Amino acid sequence: MREEARRLWLQALEDLETARIMLETRRYYASAFFSHQAAEKALKALFVHVKKEISPKTHNLLELLEHMGIEDEEIVDAAMELNPEYVVSRYPDAANGVPAQMYNERIAKERFEEARRIVEYCERRLQGQ
């Protein structure tokens, strides 16, 4: 695995763990954000691994999937749900309110599970499965 891919992958795992901890400590908006970050970095690690080039400068998970030709319905659906969290979970103008007040346990759990699915998919691909 290329060094850039390895670094992205390790940070994806850390971000997923941070999302889990934020979920447990009821910081639901932060869990949603770190769920997005875990998925983004896992996809970028996969991009570098597969394409052998630097990943696009984007936070759009769907764009990353498109660049790699990934059409797996479960992964695309998870990316569609997670995609807005890069902005909505952090900015009151994007959330139409205070992000910390716009999330609950159910939403955060859903976002965490979507990120986990993407990370696991990338792990399988990185391992050549």
Find the CATH number of the domain harbouring 74.
Answer: 1.20.120.330
C-beta separation of 55 from 49 below 8 A: no
In this predicted model, what pLDDT tens digit does every residue of 3-30 receive, in sequence order?
999 999 999 999 999 999 999 999 999 9
Q: What is the token pair recorded at 104?
A: 């609950």
The stretch 50-77 carries a mean pLDDT of 95
Taking residues 34-59, what's their average pLDDT? 95
Average pLDDT, the chain: 95
Q: pLDDT at position 2, please?
A: 86
Report whether 23 contacts 31 (CB < 8 A): yes
- Whether residue 129 is predicted with pLDDT greater than 60 in this model: the reply is no
Per-residue pLDDT band at 1 (split at 50, 70, 90)? confident
- Domain containing residue 73: 3-126
Q: Alpha-carbon distance 113 to 129, whole Å?
A: 21
What's this model's pTM, rounded to 2 decimal places? Answer: 0.95
50 contacts 68 by C-beta, under 8 angstroms: yes
Tell me: pLDDT of 98 over 90. Answer: yes
What is the tally of structural domains in the chain? Answer: 1
Amino acid 128: pLDDT: 84
